[in-house]
Amino acid sequence: MNVVALAGGVGAGKFLRGLVRIVEPRDVTAIVNTGDDISLHGLHISPDIDSVMYWLAGVADRDRGWGRSDESFRALDEVRRLKGQSWFGLGDVDLATHLVRTQLLSEGKTLSEATAHLTDALGIPARLLPMSDDPVPTMVHAATEEGQGLYMHFQVYWVQRGARDQVKAVRYEGGQEAAPAPGALEALAGADAILICPSNPVVSIRPILAVRGIREGVEDARRGGTGVVGVSPIVGGAPLRGMADRLMPAVGLEVSAYGAAAAYPGLLTGWVVDERDRDMASRIRDELGLRIAVTDTVMTDDDAAERVSRVALELATG
Ligand code: GDP
Ligand code: CA
């Protein structure tokens, strides 16, 4: 069974750990958001690819939610002392990933090739594809408290400025000129199920769908009878962690299991709703025309993730 997953960061990493327990890992292709990618210290950083890699390799930090376990931040402390750019957290061990990726890119390799190199070195048997080898930065239109307009990279909005500005709009810059990563459209066309991981709809999943051809690839697969099922990243009316609650209203989405499903009009066949949002299930089913499964979606460990991924896969293929 071939399964394609659209993936953001941590929610996706946890979910995929469960999925590769129930599907042959080499038959799983994750198309990962690169809208958050940023260049710092001359290094190419791909936060969502890194999160998914670290989770699948079993070296992620479960408590912090990003980066690697057994991490230290001595290099960043020294960058700060040297008055360099220290607003973006980069661990000492994590830095090695960015060094190797940047070296491969400087040799002329594509981001897909660099990602394949890293997943291979980390012993990850599933296939991870960046959404595109071309840059498609997620950009935020916002206004400061004083009413000054800003147009900035998502990481500047979120990490550097601490999400303090009023967001007016979100843009996936260059999405329509970017090409999907090699293999992404073929994977969608050959999928027996397409799963949307419990990731932020605005800054993780919609950036992937903004890459030319990817939304159409999902739509075509769906028309051909492939189930397209997402797991709600909104649990009990709020994100488990992260900032979906800030960005969803800015693009006209209600912060709820309903609003997250409504982020993908015309794409889904089913939606997995957390049991805490059970009373919303009939509204999602009736208004959005989706098949619904209700379960505990909080992935506290791999057994929970396996259960959630099984519910999603069964809804997509059943
Ligand atoms: P980021 O790039 O690491 O911020 O992560 P994602 O794009 O994956 O999005 C974060 C979203 O994942 C948040 O809305 C969380 O609520 C959701 N999430 C994280 N862990 C879980 C989980 O165990 N279950 C569910 N249902 N959602 C989760
Ligand atoms: Ca992310």
Which residue owns the Cα nearest ligand 1 atom 9?
Answer: 199
Distance 155 CA to ligand 2 centre (A): 9
CB 18 less than 6 A from any atom of ligand 1: no
- What pLDDT score does 241 carry? 77
- What pLDDT score does 254 carry? 95
CB 199 less than 6 A from any atom of ligand 1: yes
CB 104 less than 6 A from any atom of ligand 1: no
Asked whether the beta carbons of 176 and 207 are under 8 A apart, the reply is no
Which residue owns the Cα nearest ligand 1 atom 11?
Answer: 199
Q: Where are the beta strands (DSSP E) in 131-275?
A: 138-143, 149-153, 166-172, 193-196, 227-231, 234-235, 238-239, 270-274
Supply 161's token pair. Answer: 């400025």
CB 244 less than 6 A from any atom of ligand 1: yes
Supply 165's token pair. Answer: 């500005």
Distance 60 CA to ligand 1 centre (A): 14
CB 12 less than 6 A from any atom of ligand 1: yes
Which residue owns the Cα nearest ligand 1 atom 21?
Answer: 11
Per the listing, tokens 């649990």 go with 235
- What pLDDT score does 239 carry? 84
The ligand whose atoms approach the alpha carbon of 61 most closely is 1
Which residues have CB under 8 Å from 286's CB, separation 6+? none
Ligand 1 atom nearest residue 10's Cα: 3
Distance 11 CA to ligand 1 centre (A): 4
Distance 65 CA to ligand 1 centre (A): 9
Per the listing, tokens 């800015």 go with 250
Beta bridge partners of 230: 196, 271
CB 22 less than 6 A from any atom of ligand 1: no
Beta bridge partners of 141: 151, 169
Q: Where are the alpha helices (DSSP H) in the chain?
A: 10-22, 47-57, 74-81, 92-106, 111-121, 154-155, 184-189, 206-210, 214-223, 244-250, 257-261, 281-288, 302-317
Which residues have CB under 8 Å from 106's CB, separation 6+? none
Which residue owns the Cα nearest ligand 1 atom 19?
Answer: 11
> With the C-alpha atoms ordered 238, 239, 241, 242, is the resulting torsion angle positive or negative?
negative
Ligand 1 atom nearest residue 232's Cα: 26
**How far, in Å, CA of 79 to CA of 241, rounded?**
28
Distance 143 CA to ligand 2 centre (A): 22
CB 31 less than 6 A from any atom of ligand 1: no
Distance 78 CA to ligand 1 centre (A): 31
Average pLDDT, consecutive stretches of 10 residues, N- to C-terminus, the chain (318 residues): 97 98 98 98 98 98 91 98 96 98 98 98 98 98 95 95 94 98 98 98 97 98 98 92 82 96 98 97 98 98 98 97
CB 155 less than 6 A from any atom of ligand 1: no
Residues with CB under 5 A from ligand 2 (ion): 8-9, 36, 48
